[in-house]
A and B are shown apart, each in its own frame.
Chain A
């Protein structure tokens, strides 16, 4: 029996507003509330509601044989609670089916693990409580922001009571080994590790839209056939997919909904295949080997490390400035300030400071920088950090005395 693990990640960054040097010490609102609400409403209509409906129908149709895992960040759940209870309701109805496992992660989609373990634990606990409160489940599986992963993370997550952890699959770590097995992180005794099958996942997230691709257009029966032929080569096939694939109009036009609706049926046609959630897999399968991952790996890029978020000096400067405030912030014992500080931890903010080849964002088709350019993102962010330091009492070491 080969187990199919289908995981959707649901997140939407809370973008910061345009914040100039002239706003420092005058204006302490950092979020772009209007923009974020607009995006929330657009995604609710185009993505969350119709996709949840489609998933719900599909689950009901297969009477328990189609099972998925969902991870929804705490910041997005907050947004639903505040502005779109209807969307929250539709996620709750998915929870009611008993076929959806809700997965733990950092509440604020942060990289806190790399800078403050205390903060990482607190955010993970917050998220756990939130999931329990809203969906009546205690998360047993953990996925880290952007699938960033290493041994240390796995060991901490195990001690926090999780049974299973999801990660990207870096070729340099896996070597000849297949991602289609359950592994045990080095140093762990119970925790199971599931690795994203990059090729099959990217067929849906990336190549589905590629008209130049020899397999275009991708249809569910063809895709199911690929999975069937891989059955002999593994125990699990882990498809980790961003929920935003349902948000793009073009993808919708090319039939992503129809594809996903018929995929479970096509896969289940073969009696040797069934859907399971990560926690179920962790319960049922023993690891084939230990996997030793000393350095960080991530999912999104060919480079498969944290370079996209922390590669440039801009990114490092911004994020260390943020986390260096922690001690002072905690002494203030102010929940509002803590929340603001945590919102600033959004990993996407640092991703936007990535000075790759096309730093100005022009012509990049996969990612359009909401701040304009990485330099604009950095300037904006550092202005906010300056103001926030001011609120905390002592100025960030500044070269200039301001009038």
Chain B
């Protein structure tokens, strides 16, 4: 399995999903090797064999094989990346060292010299370069391992999946957690779009996290519907909730936005709705937890609206801070513009926090006891926020029914569907 994130190396829902899914797969008796860009520090996951792509030697020959992807228009790859495409220019600007690791050293001739790359797991400006380096390592790994199916999560690992398929002849499943259109609206990076489209076209099967995303793939990427299976995400329960018993202040309710402050997540609708609510109910606290490129604009807008007194930015929260934040909150809102799935409402529900979710989200397909809104309908968001703050019976009913519903949202179910897909592609 190839994935860009895996706990604790993650920034969002992708890592959470990969963790939950692989754990359930292991529970069903499947062995999973999971390749991430780089292992930072300690990792506590026993259920997968976690492989760091950084530190794996790559044979020079395999570096040249990027040319195998004839259909993928390489000219569209960001020009700054071009130096990396020729085998001779790898020295430039890249940390390179010959492998000193025993076991890889032995038996290799001069012409088959290996190189080891450092691959940055961060989503920086050179992400595409990292993605390509990661893909090359994948080819190497796939030659040295035994496996039956290749499973690649999202576009960052699509090339890796294709390499591994090319090298091993094993079937490839591309798992789409989000599309370029979800992240950027209409202002897409064409490179990424082409990688996504090429990968899905070349894959033996495509898995998506919602009907919502499947529809987008059929319409925007031209992938036939019968090649795509929908496997909804789930949520892992931790016992942590009990540890953070925070007394909620009934006099001052907290309404939470938690996620990347980016176009996709619709933070501005949260801010505008907050202002409307505060007109009617002056003593509510709104919290925007997370970080992202739209954060400065959001802070400015909050100031403009004059609601700063009731509006807090926490910055990026991690681990127990997230749990604590959920525990303190009276309502969680996910006003995403386009959300292939959206695991965090499920996490909020674990902490008995009622949720308002965008209809433009995959998770809305499986949640029947959440309040749903169109992300652009700020008045309706405000109306529902007030209803939650105002009507305790509504909260009680939603929380009770959500608890029941969460029991059926299990990673085991998702894993079973994935295994069906595996059986379908392994001949």
Contact = CB atoms under 8 A, between A and B. Distances in A.
B169 interface: no
A379 B368 contact: no
A313 interface: yes
Given A359-B401, A379-B391, A22 B379 contact: yes
Given A314-B394, A375-B371, A402 B280 contact: yes
B390 A21 contact: yes
A300 interface: no
A308 to B, nearest CB: 15
A399 B397 contact: no
B384 A400 contact: no
A355 B401 contact: yes
B142 to A, nearest CB: 42
B81 interface: no
Nearest to B365: A362
Contacts, number: 75
Interface size class of B (residues with CB under 8 A): 20 to 34
B383 A20 contact: yes
Interface string A372-386: 110110110011000
A357 interface: yes
B397 A314 contact: yes
Contact of A359 (B369, B383, B393): B369
Report which residue of B276, B384, B390, B396 has the largest number of chain A beta carbons within 10 angstroms of its beta carbon: B390
B179 interface: no
A314 B280 contact: no
A379 B394 contact: yes
A357 B408 CA distance: 12
A22 B369 CA distance: 24
Contact of A379 (B282, B283, B384, B396): B384
Contacts of A382: 387, 390-391, 394
Interface string A101-127: 000000000000000000000000000
A317 B394 CA distance: 9
B188 interface: no
A278 to B, nearest CB: 39
Contacts of B379: 20, 22
A403 interface: yes
Contact of B390 (A312, A376, A398): A398
Q: Taking chain B's interface residues, is the majority helix, strand, or loop, or is none over half, making it mixed?
A: helix
Contacts of A360: 368-369, 372
B85 interface: no
Contacts of A20: 379-380, 383
Nearest to B393: A317
B250 to A, nearest CB: 8
Nearest to B277: A21
B32 interface: no
A378 B383 CA distance: 12
Given A312-B397, A313-B393, A400-B281, A21 B372 contact: no
B371 A313 contact: no
Nearest to B380: A20
A383 B398 CA distance: 18
Nearest to A359: B368
A22 B371 CA distance: 18
Interface in B259-287: 276, 279-283
Contact of B393 (A22, A314, A357, A373): A314
Given A373-B372, A400-B281, A402-B281, A313 B384 contact: no
Contacts of A362: 368
B386 interface: yes
Contacts of B280: 21-22, 400, 402-403
A61 interface: no
Contacts of A399: 389-390
Candidate in A316, A358, A379 with the most chain B CB atoms within 10 angstroms: A379
A376 B371 CA distance: 8
Interface string B383-417: 11011011101101110010000000000000000
A375 B371 CA distance: 7
Interface in B337-387: 368-369, 371-372, 379-380, 382-384, 386-387
Contacts of A379: 371, 383-384, 387, 391, 394
Contacts of A317: 391, 393
Interface in A281-338: 312-314, 316-317
Nearest to A378: B394
Contacts of A400: 280-281, 283, 389-390
A229 B394 CA distance: 51
B367 to A, nearest CB: 8
A316 B396 CA distance: 13
Contacts of B401: 355, 359
Interface in A345-403: 355, 357-360, 362, 372-373, 375-376, 378-379, 382-383, 398-400, 402-403
A55 B239 CA distance: 65
Contacts of B368: 357-360, 362, 373
A312 B400 CA distance: 11
A375 B398 contact: yes
Q: Nearest 10 A-B pairs (CB), nearest first?
A: A20-B383, A379-B387, A317-B393, A21-B386, A360-B368, A359-B368, A400-B281, A313-B393, A314-B397, A21-B383
25 contacts: A20-B379, A21-B382, A22-B379, A22-B382, A22-B383, A313-B393, A355-B397, A355-B401, A358-B368, A359-B369, A359-B401, A360-B368, A375-B369, A375-B398, A378-B391, A378-B397, A379-B383, A379-B384, A379-B394, A382-B387, A382-B390, A382-B391, A383-B383, A383-B387, A403-B280
Interface of B: 276, 279-283, 368-369, 371-372, 379-380, 382-384, 386-387, 389-391, 393-394, 396-398, 401
Given A375-B371, A382-B394, 12 more contacts: A21-B382, A22-B382, A313-B397, A314-B393, A314-B394, A357-B368, A358-B368, A359-B368, A362-B368, A400-B280, A400-B281, A400-B389
